[in-house]
């Protein structure tokens, strides 16, 4: 777990979209969409438009997923990035990059579940995906994020991540880094 205080939380990119009351962790909270008590049960989710990698800034869904991730809503950020991954037709640099972010979010979920092997497995896959994107494009950044930095973060997660203490808190930030697209 990180020692980041609430006053040090990342700025919001899409502050008008509220966070759910809890971040889903298997067995601790109702499934958000399948359980009638879930925070998103019965909510119609519209499919987002595909992200244009040259003009990613207008994508409120992408930016909201970054907000969710930065504030400890790993399962929820995973879901938003997955919808964008589907909109990117699941192939190519944009899809691979989003899949890398999905894997980082999945690592956050596994950290909340207390599953170190899951954190490592998802971090390894994130490295592979980010390295693939890095080899395909002619830029140090993609969708506003530094690719080499993401690779180093994912490598650090697989090498020396310490699981947080178990918590029944509705939201828990487990990583000491933020995704701040610029």
How would you classify the pairing of strands 141-142 and 145-146?
Answer: antiparallel
Tokens encoding 127: 């490295």
Q: Which of 160, 99, 107 is nearest to 131 (CA)?
A: 99
CB atoms within 10 A of CB 85: 23
Residue 123 lies in a domain: yes
Residue 10 lies in a domain: no
Domain total of the chain? 1
For 119, phi then psi, to 5°, come to: -60, -50
124: CATH? 1.10.3450.10
pTM of the complete model: 0.93
Collapsing DSSP to helix, strand or coil, 117 comes out as helix
Residue 71 lies in a domain: yes
Residue 135 lies in a domain: yes
Domain extent at residue 122 = 57-182
Q: Which of 50, 29, 49, 54 is nearest to 40 (CA)?
A: 29
Residue 49 lies in a domain: no
Per-residue pLDDT of the chain (182 residues; tens, 9 = 90+): 333 344 467 899 999 999 999 999 998 898 888 888 889 888 877 788 899 999 999 999 999 999 999 999 999 999 999 999 999 999 999 999 999 999 999 999 999 999 999 999 999 999 999 999 999 998 999 999 999 999 999 999 999 899 999 888 999 999 999 999 99
């Amino acid at each position: 777990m990180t020692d980041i205080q609430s006053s040090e939380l990342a700025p919001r990119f899409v502050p008008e979209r509220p966070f759910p009351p809890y971040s889903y962790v298997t067995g601790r909270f109702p499934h958000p969409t399948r359980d009638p008590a879930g925070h998103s049960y019965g909510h119609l989710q519209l499919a987002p438009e595909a992200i244009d990698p040259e003009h990613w800034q207008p994508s409120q869904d992408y930016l909201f997923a970054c907000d969710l991730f930065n504030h400890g809503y790993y399962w929820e950020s995973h879901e938003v990035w997955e919808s964008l991954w589907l909109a990117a037709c699941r192939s190519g640099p944009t899809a691979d990059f989003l899949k890398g972010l999905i894997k980082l979010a999945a690592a956050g979920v596994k950290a909340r579940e207390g599953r170190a092997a899951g954190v490592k497995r998802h971090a390894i896959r994130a490295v592979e995906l980010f390295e693939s994107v890095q080899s395909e494009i002619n830029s140090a950044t993609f969708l506003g994020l530094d690719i080499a930095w993401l690779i180093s973060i994912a490598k650090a997660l697989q090498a020396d991540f310490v699981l947080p203490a178990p918590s029944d808190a509705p939201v828990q930030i487990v990583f000491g880094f933020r995704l701040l697209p610029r």
